[in-house]
Amino acid sequence: MVKNIGRREFVKVSLIGGSLVASIPLTSCMDTDALPAATSNTAGNRNLGVFVRINPDNTTTIGAPTAEMGQGTFTSMPMIIAEELDADWARTDVALMPLSLRRVSDGDDVSDAGYEGVDYAHAYQGAGGSGSVKRNFSYLRKAGAQVRSRLVRAAANRLSVPVEELRTENSYVIHDATDQTVAYGELAEAAVALADVDSVELKHASEFRILGKYQKIKGCREIVTGAMTFGQDCELPDMLHAVLIRSPYFKGTPLSFDDVATRAVPGVLDVIRIDRQWPDDAHDGEVLLHGAVAVVAETLWAALKGRSALKVEWDRGPFADESTEMVEAECRELLDGRISSEADRRTEGDVDTALLNAERVIEADYAIKPLAHVCMEPHSAIADMRDGQRRILAAHQFPERAAHCAAKICGCDPMDVRVETARMGGGFGRKFAPDYLSEAIWLSHRLQKPVKVTWTRDDDIQQDAFNRPGMSRLRAGLDENNNVVAWDHTIAGHTTQSDNFPADVVPNFRVRYLRSNTGMWFGPWRGPGHNTIGFVIQSFIDELALATGRDPLEFRLAMLGEERALPFQGWGADVYDTGRAANVLKLAAEKGDWRGRGELPPGRGRGIASHFTFGSYCAHVVDVRVSEGELEILRVVSAIDCGQAINKLGIEAQIQGGAIDGLSAALHQAIHVRNGQVVERNFDTYRMMRIDQTPRHMETHIVDSDANPSGTGEVGLPPVIPALTNAIYAATGKRIRSLPIADQLKA
């Protein structure tokens, strides 16, 4: 009997170039010859396409094309392939894949990472914007289905039965009529010789055996035994070590230096000046070099010790007087004096008239300080730019940037640069910038030796691409029924992502941007822009609800109105679905006992908030207790709609981790500037939450959905800060309008 496994979706697939070169490294990047120059038909080759190797013992190795930084793609991306491949997931291991580029020309379909005539050769290998699964889901399914098709055809040849009579399960091809099974491992070498087919059928979601379940991360045993290789752990034979002293002043560069004591340190080999190279509005693939002096040594310790003996005079650049007070005073001045239509970023309806005619206008100012990334792993990169080598090993979110920087510095073809990304000890958007890659490449090119550049925590905080600070002035007009009819949001500073709710649902809507002057460098930080605008918008909405005597949940649902799909004007999504947005609010409210909040004892408060980040909808209900100015975060109940769930255990980790990360930022984190320099240098002054402040109860509810999958890595963070501050208001009557919360509750 032929079992119909019901592959309903029939998809034309086009895998690049038709001939796929296996490029999964066999071992970690610690080994120099990790990359087999695989060809398609050599004896013993068990690489089926780009992503899959079927081993003789019937285990499967699947390549993870996107670098892992804690977001879970080392597990989730191979899951997608394994699902369509019908691989035995328990007997599948995963390898991080190196960068693979292809040449593109005008008229080709090119991703947003396409640059200088090259683009990713197969999967989208950059990790950012919570987009790895979203961008690769369909492609990886087809890749898995192609491999399965080859194995099934190889089995049909071996068993002399029609392909249609075969089904697959857990790395076996099964012929039910004759009760025969063949392990994938026995078919791999024959399957290698077969070509891909023009089209493959994909599973219906109801047939998923791996996706949508709770799967533990791959590589966990290596992590808990210390065997996992992170960027800092990589080495190349005969490499030199470099640490840099970079300008402590924004956009500064070295004038002169005294390296006598440095060169006296045993093991120090060279001291090299690096002039600042930082084109304005640089493309992401551009070389970025901080003004710096590099200490090159035989060992890391010698380089560190040599650096501490180095004296540098700096050209302090144009921002030597900058201070937090100065920047904030300018923002206030901008908000008070210089608002004009020139600052209009987006306007719908007639906000001024609507505000004039409103029954009531409510106004509030919010303020946000810069945040540092503080990935637990400080940056590092290894480059070997000798002719014939051209190799980079680094923990980075966008590996093609390493190839582009190398091409520019060495005058070579980016296609000729071998880039391997190591696992990142956190990324959060900081490992998006190519500055630390540029340093290693530049030094290796100059010295014609392999060079490893290592950053310390001080380097990391001082030279961060900070999260954008800003001040917001909000005015809302309410009609006689307490409906929001006008929304006027002016931002002084650098906050972004103002296209979020309530854009498109309030008829008269305006956002203005007044950019303040600063030498500070900004970059993406987990949920860029969303991370703080969520706080501003969702806190102000709470204010509106409470000022009009309405329930904050009901007020939000009323603002969302009927279920409809609105075109989304911001980055990272095409559509904002008010029904999905309302649904996560209702789910979080139900699971978080929103209705029961009136019965909480004195000092306790419950807050709710939601936000839409890069196509996913998330809401939290947060419970707090405030006693004599001491804040205790008791509970976070979350609801997430990220479309088709890939790995539910991973989604839960991201939503809870994002929530904890957001609470940590809200409680303590702030970067200050004095005399043109960043004040905070390490965790003693840049305070992060520890386990003692973590809520004792957290739960995450995942909406069942068959919508296209969207991301989760950044999605949990933006709504948790306003859920917290709304809870604080409920507990104390104190409205938090500036971050961090710090000592505000003690006043």
What minimum distance in Å lies between the beta carbon of 232 and another protein?
A: 6
Terminal CA-to-CA distance of the chain, rounded, Å? 77
Q: Give all strands of the β-sheet with 380-384 in edge-to-edge order.
A: 268-274, 292-297, 240-246, 451-454, 380-384, 391-394, 418-421
* Binding-residue pattern over the window 413 to 452 for another protein, x denoting contact by CB under 8 A: ----------xxxxxx------------------------
What minimum distance in Å lies between the beta carbon of 456 and another protein?
A: 6
In sequence order, the 6+-apart residues with CB closer than 8 A to the CB of 738 are 366, 367, 368, 369, 744
Of residues 126 and 306, the one with the C-beta less far from another protein: 306
Of residues 24 and 228, the one with the C-beta less far from another protein: 228
**CA dihedral sign of residues 655, 659, 660, 662:** positive
718 forms part of the interface with another protein (CB under 8 A): no
Q: Binding residue for another protein (CB under 8 A) from 49, 63, 65, 72?
A: 72
CA atoms within 13 A on the CB side of 117: 5
212 forms part of the interface with another protein (CB under 8 A): no
Q: Reduced to 3 states, what is the DSSP secondary structure of residue 308?
A: helix
- Contact (CB, 8 A) for 300 and 241: yes
Of residues 319 and 686, the one with the C-beta less far from another protein: 686
Q: Binding residue for another protein (CB under 8 A) from 49, 219, 285, 519?
A: 219
**Could you tell me how many residues of this chain bind another protein (CB under 8 A)?**
62
Q: Diameter of the chain by CA atoms?
A: 84
592 forms part of the interface with another protein (CB under 8 A): no
Q: Binding residue for another protein (CB under 8 A) from 13, 23, 61, 68?
A: 68
Segment (H or E) for 583:
helix 578-591
What minimum distance in Å lies between the beta carbon of 420 and another protein?
A: 16
In sequence order, the 6+-apart residues with CB closer than 8 A to the CB of 602 are none
Q: Binding residue for another protein (CB under 8 A) from 16, 190, 194, 300?
A: 300
What minimum distance in Å lies between the beta carbon of 56 and another protein?
A: 22
Look at residues 298, 297, 318 and name the one whose alpha carbon lies nearest to residue 244.
Answer: 297
Look at residues 198, 521, 163, 473 and name the one whose alpha carbon lies nearest to residue 339.
Answer: 473
Which residues partner with 613 through β-bridges?
Answer: 616
For residue 706, how many other CB atoms are within 10 A of its CB? 12
* Binding-residue pattern over the window 646 to 685 for another protein, x denoting contact by CB under 8 A: ---x---xx-xxxxxx--x-----------------xxx-
Q: Binding residue for another protein (CB under 8 A) from 63, 65, 70, 212?
A: 70
- Contact (CB, 8 A) for 166 and 174: yes
Pick the piece of the chain touching another protein (CB under 8 A) from 106-114, 370-378, 465-473, 730-738. 370-378
Pick the piece of the chain touching another protein (CB under 8 A) from 121-129, 191-199, 218-226, 362-370. 218-226
Of residues 678 and 698, the one with the C-beta less far from another protein: 698
464 forms part of the interface with another protein (CB under 8 A): no
Q: Binding residue for another protein (CB under 8 A) from 691, 704, 733, 747?
A: 691
Of residues 380 and 538, the one with the C-beta less far from another protein: 380
Angle at 250 between CA 245 and CA 254, to 5 degrees: 45
711 forms part of the interface with another protein (CB under 8 A): no
Look at residues 474, 473, 477, 492 and name the one whose alpha carbon lies nearest to residue 351.
Answer: 477
Pick the piece of the chain touching another protein (CB under 8 A) from 150-158, 227-235, 313-321, 587-595. 227-235
Tell whether omega for the bond before 502 is within 30 degrees of 0, i.e. cis. yes
Of residues 30 and 260, the one with the C-beta less far from another protein: 30
Residue with token string 């970059």: 523
DSSP 735: P
What minimum distance in Å lies between the beta carbon of 633 and another protein?
A: 11
Q: Which residues bind another protein (CB under 8 A)?
A: 68-72, 216-217, 219-221, 223-230, 232-233, 266, 299-301, 304-305, 374-378, 423-428, 456-458, 649, 653-654, 656-661, 664, 682-684, 688-692, 694-696, 698
